[in-house]
Amino acid sequence: MKLRMNLTELRCEYCGAELTEDNIYVRVIDGKEHHFCCSHCADAYERKGHSACY
Ligand SMILES: [Zn+2]
C-alpha cells in the first residue's frame, strides 16, 4: 500500500518552497508532523518556534 498524502499544496513550512515526494523532509515537533524542504529549514523552524524556551 502506498503512503496516501496530498502533496499538491504542500510547502516547506519555513521557507515556502514547494515540496515533492522526492525532496520532502518531515520532522515531528511537539508530536505533530511538520514538512520542510530540508533539515536546515526544520532546524530554523524549530529554533524560531521554541526560542523562548531555550
Ligand atoms: Zn525550506
Give the range of the structural domain holding residue 34, as residue numbers without chain letter: 8-54
Task: Note the pLDDT of residue 52.
Answer: 47
Task: Report the share of the chain in percent with pLDDT over 70.
Answer: 74
Band (9; pLDDT cuts 50, 70, 90): confident
Residue 18's domain is classified under what CATH number? Answer: 2.30.170
CB of 15 closer than 8 Å to CB of 42: no
Q: How far apart are CA 22 and CA 30, in angstroms?
A: 25
Q: What domain count does the chain have?
A: 1
Task: Note the pLDDT of residue 54.
Answer: 43
| Residue found under cell 515556502 | 16
pLDDT at 35 over 90: yes
pTM: 0.71
CB of 19 closer than 8 Å to CB of 11: yes
Q: Is residue 51 part of a domain?
A: yes
CA dihedral angle for residue 39, residue 45, residue 46, residue 52, rounded to 10 degrees: 160
Cα of 1 from ligand 1 centre, angstroms: 28
Q: Is residue 53 part of a domain?
A: yes
Cα of 13 from ligand 1 centre, angstroms: 7
Q: Is residue 1 part of a domain?
A: no
